[in-house]
């Protein structure tokens, strides 16, 4: 099938599935009313007790517990009505081929007869109910966050809404990943891997030092904790383009967490981690061993850092020889280090010396079954 048709089919598939699910929900409500039964909707429980780490797929999933949102309960009737209004709003967006931000969705409710939401957290929760109930992403429902995703630089050409964009010619910042990344068509990619970096400072350093050329890579700036669109981009690059994904983060518990959310998904989004997690992604970031081997400038671990590292030791996602060893070593050192610490040896050192050695090390460890 031609690429354009593949892209259009993907778009239609996501939107058609969402539209169909919303229609079916509406029909179920009508049928319940005709049968003089209070309308209801089953929603998977997103409580921590119902979130399970799937050892086979290597990401968090929801367990078997469900809850019921019913119009037959005085405590739930308003929320149920708001849920129906939200579903109707999403259905209209899909029908018109439009998108709205989560903030616009929140303010739209001000005009509903059932009454507005107390705050945006409440409206976001309703959207999450729909996502979990139907196994959809909010983007499939025509709803997007306020912020754009991260940036990509490298030999990638995409088609976004009929506009062809070359990620090496989109300005110094590269190509910005849109919230609707599933609608973007990958036209051409000559890269052999993806290197995603936690901070935009390191992203710009790698772009300036032409790491995308040196390592035949797409360089992705995560902007801290990666947005859903960024994680979806990494997932698509890995699966559709066949690119291995490497994650370069700070050498501290929160850098480790940022990487692991990309690898194994988050507990909060257990209901759609199959769309976001990249289980084969490899950690290329700063480790406790790097702090010692490269004599890096460091900061002392705070009590919060120590507590977090001890939590990671018990987290099933970190139950490997590599992670357990590095976490233990960091606790023993009592120190942490940032990506930019390599600037001690010069601005170009990270690309000329550190990253080639690190890539070789990670790929060898991968071969040996780290």
Q: Which two tokens stand for residue 355?
A: 């990253």
Q: In a 10 Å sphere around its CB, with 0-12 CB exposed, 13-18 middle and 19+ buried, how is residue 359 labelled?
A: middle
| Separation between Cα atoms, residue 284 and residue 361, nearest integer Å | 9
Q: Which of 107, 345, 349, 354 is catalytic?
A: 107
107 is a catalytic site residue: yes
| C-alpha distance from residue 145 to each of 24, 104, 124, 318 (Å) | 26, 10, 10, 30
Q: What is the bridge-based pairing of β-strands 100-101 and 143-144? A: parallel
Classify residue 337 by its DSSP letter.
B
Q: Which two tokens stand for residue 91?
A: 């259905």
Helices of type H across the chain: 3-34, 77-96, 102-108, 120-134, 200-208, 211-214, 228-240, 253-264, 273-276, 288-293, 303-314, 321-333, 349, 355-367
Helix (H, G, I), strand (E, B) or coil at 247: strand
- Of 60, 24, 61, 57, which Cα lies nearest the Cα of 42? 24
Q: Are 71 and 81 in contact (CB under 8 A)?
A: yes
Helix (H, G, I), strand (E, B) or coil at 239: helix
Q: Which two tokens stand for residue 181?
A: 């990344």
Helix (H, G, I), strand (E, B) or coil at 248: strand
Catalytic annotation, residues: 107
């Amino acid at each position: 099938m031609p690429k354009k048709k593949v892209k259009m089919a993907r778009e239609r598939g996501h939107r058609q599935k969402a539209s169909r699910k919303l229609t079916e929900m509406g029909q179920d409500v009508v049928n319940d009313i005709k049968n003089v039964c209070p309308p209801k909707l089953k929603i998977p429980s997103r409580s921590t007790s119902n979130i399970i780490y799937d050892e086979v797929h290597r990401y968090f999933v929801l367990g078997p517990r469900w809850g019921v949102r019913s119009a037959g309960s005085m405590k739930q009737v308003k929320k149920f009505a708001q849920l129906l209004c939200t579903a109707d709003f999403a259905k209209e967006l899909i029908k018109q081929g439009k998108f709205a931000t989560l903030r616009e969705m929140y303010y739209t409710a001000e005009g509903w007869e059932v009454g507005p939401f107390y705050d945006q957290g409440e409206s976001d929760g309703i959207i999450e109910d729909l996502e979990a109930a139907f196994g959809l992403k909010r983007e499939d429902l025509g709803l997007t966050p306020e912020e754009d995703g991260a940036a990509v630089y490298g030999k990638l050409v995409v088609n976004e809404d009929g506009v062809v964009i070359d990620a090496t010619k989109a300005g110094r910042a590269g190509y910005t990943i849109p919230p609707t990344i599933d609608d973007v068509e990958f036209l051409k990619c000559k890269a052999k891997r993806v290197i995603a970096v936690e901070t935009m400072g390191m992203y710009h350093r790698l772009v300036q030092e032409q790491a995308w050329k040196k390592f035949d890579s797409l360089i992705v700036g995560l902007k801290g904790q990666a947005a859903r669109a960024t994680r979806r981009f990494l997932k698509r690059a890995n699966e559709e383009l066949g690119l291995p994904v490497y994650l370069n983060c700070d050498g501290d518990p929160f850098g480790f967490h940022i990487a692991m959310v990309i690898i194994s998904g988050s507990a909060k989004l257990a209901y759609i981690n199959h769309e976001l997690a990249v289980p084969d992604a490899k950690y290329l970031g700063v480790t406790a061993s790097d702090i010692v081997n490269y004599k890096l400038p460091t900061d002392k671990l705070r009590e919060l850092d120590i507590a977090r590292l001890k939590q990671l030791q018990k987290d099933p996602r970190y139950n490997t020889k590599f992670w357990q060893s590095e976490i233990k070593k960091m606790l023993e050192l009592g120190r942490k280090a940032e990506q930019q610490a390599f600037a001690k040896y010069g601005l170009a050192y990270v690309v000329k010396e550190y990253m080639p050695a690190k890539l070789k090390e990670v790929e060898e460890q991968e071969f040996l079954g780290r």
